[in-house]
Amino acid sequence: MTRLKGKVALITGGSSGIGEATVRLFVEEGASVMVADIQDDRGKRLADELSARAAYVHTDVSQEAHVKAAVDETCRRFGRLDCIFNNAGYGGVGGKIEDVSADGFDATIGVLLRGVFLGMKHAAPVMKKQGAGSIISTASVAGLRTGLGPHIYSAAKAAVIHLTHSVAMELGEHGVRVNCICPGAIATPIFGKSMGLSLEKADEIIPMMKGVLENFQPIKRPGVPDDIARAALWLASDESTFVNGHALVVDGGVIGGRPWSESQLRREKLRSALGLS
């Protein structure tokens, strides 16, 4: 499969979860990929496994120097940058609004919003010079609907969606497309890590999470990292060259409203309560 033959991609948060699935798929489809993450052991192992068309660079996306260095190293090693996938993330600070610390707010925004901004900022001049490129960011359905994530996480993801819309209007004039993906409930280590588990333990509970998440949306199976990776593949490929400023929802229908069967059950209960059944 060669839908990305000859293309070069930089994927942040590329060592696990959605990022790892996307790295593997992009390489399979012919791309050369720079894996950017703070999980050095996992990132190096992944790059080594995938041969000469993959490399690893340590990148804390909240640090501008790190993001610039990752873009520079991608161009140095592979000669160009056709796609950046601003995917790095975590659950961030949680709890009731009065319990959210200012430091927790800053750290969450630093990764989930600042990291996306920095990726866009440093990829833009490279892609503008090329006259082409695809900037993709991981947003969330929590940025579109309330009640699907912690307060600050949700606000950051909403900002990513709007930043995508805004920057797309600028860079589209230079042949550079800017889009984001809004995943629903995807079985990744982020859930376990948000509950205080180590990455290894978070990996171990993924099969259990799949059992829980299979009934979370109208499509009765859990969302998996490959679902998002395939959406990113389409946005990175030449198949989507007329798509710009779009927030692509990949959620099995979770934000569509109440499942039809649930609505019918509620209707029957109401009829019964009113003595109409």
Catalytic residues: 153
Beta bridge partners of 176: 133
C-beta of residue 216 within 8 angstroms of C-beta of residue 203: no
Q: Determine the Cα–Cα distance for residues 264 and 259; give it in Å rounded to an integer.
A: 9
Residues contacting 139, CB < 8 A, separation 6+: 157, 158, 160, 161, 164, 180, 181, 182, 247
Q: How far is CA 11 from CA 33, 146, 164, 236, in A?
A: 7, 28, 17, 11
Residue written as token pair 């750290």: 107
Structure tokens at 18: 């959605």
Radius of gyration of the chain from Cα atoms?
20
The answer to whether 138 touches 150, Cβ cutoff 8 Å, is no
CA distances from 85 to 23, 37, 230, 231, 250 (A): 10, 12, 13, 11, 16
